[in-house]
Amino acid sequence: GQNIDQPTEMTATEGAIVQINCTYQTSGFNGLFWYQQHAGEAPTFLSYNVLDGLEEKGRFSSFLSRSKGYSYLLLKELQMKDSASYLCAVRAPQGKLQFGAGTQVVVTP
């Protein structure tokens, strides 16, 4: 079956670093996406990994290990505006995205 697991909630202070882990077991794999979603808003694209390794994009980095079925999203120099839900999604060969339930990140002053 399809299974994408990520923690429900994480809390960190402004300026700190937070790492959100995602493990997946899916019948097909054609890349892994991370999306950010503020309450009541559309998911917005953060990163895409299709090969193993680390992709860095400003304050956000994402890592993928296909053999372990594992990814993480690293958020550095946290800002209050980073408080949101972070969604891990695996892309099936046909294109559809299979999402985890999301990790709610709470940034405190």
Partner 1 sequence: GAGVSQSPRYKVAKRGQDVALRCDPISGHVSLFWYQQALGQGPEFLTYFQNEAQLDKSGLPSDRFFAERPEGSVSTLKIQRTQQEDSAVYLCASSFQPGGSEQFFGPGTRLTVL
Q: Can you give the binding site for partner 1, defined by CB under 8 A?
A: 4, 31, 33, 35, 41-45, 48, 87, 89, 91, 93-102
- Minimum CB separation from partner 1 for residue 44, in Å? 7
The amino acid sitting at 64 is: L
- Minimum CB separation from partner 1 for residue 38, in Å? 11
Measured from the CB atom, is 45 or 58 closer to partner 1?
Answer: 45
Measured from the CB atom, is 40 or 109 closer to partner 1?
Answer: 40
What is the C-alpha radius of gyration for the chain, rounded to an integer number of angstroms? 13
Query: Is the Cβ–Cβ distance between 10 and 86 less than 8 Å?
Result: no
Measured from the CB atom, is 8 or 109 closer to partner 1?
Answer: 8
**Which residues have C-beta within 8 Å of that of residue 36, sequence separation ≥ 6?**
43, 44, 46, 84, 85, 86, 87
